[in-house]
Structure 1
């Protein structure tokens, strides 16, 4: 069983379990140093998706994760990638969880499990605009789900009231920053929060912002 699965089981089993924090879009050695110092729970790497300014190659991903604190879970983020790419990176241990952020369907997830095995957690992201979007998310066969606004990286929140009674533990993303993290955790009690652009200055991850965000999440009781 993976560390991510253990964390999820804890979240489901223990009342008052504190929310975890995932810092996404790492691409430099300095970013790794920052999350290691801040002690984030998970970190995300956008893999071979050139449309993103935070894209990393397979080679760079391997180099970055090699320097990551072993207690921090590296998550590969993929957008409509050939299924062999996340499977190979998971099999070789470069990443320890797979996040799907495109139009991947149930057949894609099935193929991914065949190639990568059932012990690699799969996170599926959903853009939330209506209750129907939440119903689709509830039915996903992915191990964990992420609720976002738009296609990701928009820096905007969705209508949080839609997720007040959501049935599954989830990762909350989209428009989260130090100004609204505490409110989001108090309101929705997500299993984890996912931040990226709000932790940057001039397009690069800002160490002080990462440390501040982690401190806010750690201080939130549930």
Structure 2
């Protein structure tokens, strides 16, 4: 099972987490987030070649995302705002792989979705918060998902429920599990030991 650690920020922590070999590592370029990396952040060499870096955005202009991808060194983007289909297609035409995040509270949230993104990411809806809630949504809602696009599962994932989440891939097209706040010491700083344990759990099953 592929997996992603999102909300990375501290350089030493990034290097240690990269040693656990997650397939993806997310870096947040959204000023409102406590995990915001800052405009001058560049993907560290310890990540490149070991894991795929993902730039995470909320309602940022397409041109700005493209420029930043070239400067910071990522080719995957994750969108948590109200991005329209034409914006998603523009990013794809620029050579970027697009993950569109969907906040989930009920069945309607996963129905009738566009085919434009390369992947979806399903996270827990909690007010206006865009990701990092630490809360799990009702996974039975996934039965209403019919778009067929592979997706990343997020929302309250931890070492305690990693195996249960992975088992869902027998029923749904889960591309990867996405871990964030439940494996943190504080916002932007991951518990390296828990990350290693997650890596072992996913490797064994």
TM-score bucket of the superposed structures, by smaller chain: 0.7 to 0.9
The equivalent residue for 1:121 is: 97
Distance across 1 between alignment mates of 2:175 and 2:91: 24
User: Which one of 24, 36, 51 corresponds to residue 6 of structure 2?
Assistant: 24
Give the conservation status (yes or no) of the 8 Å contact 2:99–2:120: yes
Separation in structure 2 between the aligned mates of residue 37 and residue 169 of structure 1, nearest angstrom: 26
Match of 1:201 among 180, 185, 204: 185
What SS does structure 2 have at the residue aligned with 1:183?
helix
1-side partners of 2:22 and 2:76: how far apart?
15
* Aligned-residue offset at 1:105: 1.3
Task: Give the match for residue 5 of structure 1.
Answer: none
Unaligned runs of 5+ in 1: 1-18
Q: Which residue number in structure 1 is paired with residue 32 of structure 2?
A: 51
TM-score by length of 2: 0.87
1:148–1:173 contact (8 Å) kept in structure 2: yes
Structure 2: gaps (5+ residues) = none
How far apart in 2 are the matches of 1:85 and 1:218? 37
Q: Indicate the residue corresponding to 2:107 in structure 1.
A: 131
**Alignment-derived partner of residue 158 in structure 1:** 137
CA, structure 1 residues 120+24, in 2 after alignment: closer, same or farther (shift >3 Å)?
A: same
Aligned residues: 195
Look up the SS of the partner of 1:65 in the other structure.
Answer: coil
After superposition, what is the alpha-carbon deviation per residue over 1:13-33, rounded to whole angstroms, capped at 9, x for unaligned? Answer: xxxxxx201000010112221
Give the deviation of 1:83 after TM superposition: 1.4
Cα distance in 2 for partners of 1:146, 1:176 equals: 13
- Indicate the RMSD between aligned Cα atoms, in angstroms: 1.8
